[in-house]
């Protein structure tokens, strides 16, 4: 289960990664944002124990991120690893905030596409979404 965490201008990028992993990778994923996630999420890093080995947390970061956010990422990584959760940081390059956002979006989009292929599914069709739209249309 991919957990994507962003901060500042890359928080929407982390959310985009979640939606693209859902759509193209045909897989569960969640997204969160720092510093807000530090208010409650650490209390559940080690539970349920059956889920911990299935989690992989990815922090989306850029070089100019605020020092306090960088410190939060380091501290949260330490807590996650102590709880047995796999965690890593992906540094997004770019000369400007916009360049970083666009690079991050492209990286997430391509990654989600290849995740679908790794799962043995065609990434483009969205049958579950088509079914939901038909269901809603038939009842309104």
Q: How far apart are the C-alpha atoms of 90 and 102, rounded to whole Å?
A: 14
**What's the rounded mean pLDDT across residues 81-109?**
97
**What's the rounded mean pLDDT across residues 89-105?**
97
The CATH superfamily assigned to 2-138 is: Glucose-6-phosphate isomerase like protein; domain 1 (3.40.50.10490)
Please report which confidence band the pLDDT of residue 114 belongs to, taking 50, 70 and 90 as the band edges.
very high
pTM listed for this prediction: 0.92
Q: Which of 22, 23, 92 is nearest to 58 (CA)?
A: 92
Q: Which of 14, 19, 10, 20 is nearest to 32 (CA)?
A: 14
**What's the rounded mean pLDDT across residues 69-84?**
97
With a CB cutoff of 8 Å and minimum separation 6, the contacts of 8 are 62, 65, 66, 69
Please report which confidence band the pLDDT of residue 72 belongs to, taking 50, 70 and 90 as the band edges.
very high
**What's the rounded mean pLDDT across residues 104-111?**
98
């Amino acid at each position: 289960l991919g957990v994507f965490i962003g901060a500042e201008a890359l928080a929407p990028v982390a959310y985009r990664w979640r939606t693209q992993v859902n759509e193209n990778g045909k897989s569960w994923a969640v997204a969160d944002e720092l510093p807000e996630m530090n208010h409650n999420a650490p209390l559940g890093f080690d539970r349920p124990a059956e889920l911990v080995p299935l989690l992989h947390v990815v922090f989306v970061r850029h070089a100019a991120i605020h020092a306090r956010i960088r410190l939060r990422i380091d501290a949260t990584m330490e807590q996650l690893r102590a709880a047995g959760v796999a965690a890593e940081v992906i540094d997004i390059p770019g000369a400007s905030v916009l360049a970083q956002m666009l690079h991050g979006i492209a990286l997430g989009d391509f990654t989600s596409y290849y995740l679908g292929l790794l799962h043995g599914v065609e990434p483009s069709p969205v049958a579950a979404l088509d079914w939901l739209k038909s269901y809603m249309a038939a009842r309104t």
